A and B are shown apart, each in its own frame.
Chain A
Amino acid sequence: GIQVEQSPPDLILQEGANSTLRCNFSDSVNNLQWFHQNPWGQLINLFYIPSGTKQNGRLSATTVATERYSLLYISSSQTTDSGVYFCAVEHNDMRFGAGTRLTVKP
């Protein structure tokens, strides 16, 4: 089946710093989503982005489907950005990466 790899697995930032999270996938996909899982376990949709670039406030994402990767950019990070960020792709079914655990320190 399709493989989804996220990097880095862990990231620690000072408040105000910028970061880039990466998602690589091994086959063509119909759908790619980025989620933020908050400390209570809720998965919050960030982006639905099978291709192209989208921006939402301090967050933006780019998917280059032909090269099989997606990037999530977080600018001016805040402590509330802490949590785990998941990339999920749909090929035959939805597959999740292992996540990037982000900790933003005040």
Chain B
Amino acid sequence: SAVISQKPSRDICQRGTSLTIQCQVDSQVTMMFWYRQQPGQSLTLIATANQGSEATYESGFVIDKFPISRPNLTFSTLTVSNMSPEDSSIYLCSVVGRASTDTQYFGPGTRLTVL
């Protein structure tokens, strides 16, 4: 299994500012993902964080708004830029275990409120 931590656990931010969320895994993993869960909704994939190269973004998400870094196999950051109230969500990182048949493990999430 993989143990994932996220920082911060929650934050309240002002419109127009940016917040960087950190995701740390206790072991090296191949795949890391960032999801968003808007209030009352299910999880939506933002992007796949690729180690040593640019992230792969899903339709509707762009690098200028959600820049992602992944400097090594255990760490990634997601920045929510130029925030608006519509960005208020829970942001979760997840990883796939060592085997492709393994489960996905999720971090505890970062609850973001934008005023």
Q: Do A and B truly interact?
A: no
Q: Which residues of B contact A (CB under 8 A)?
A: none
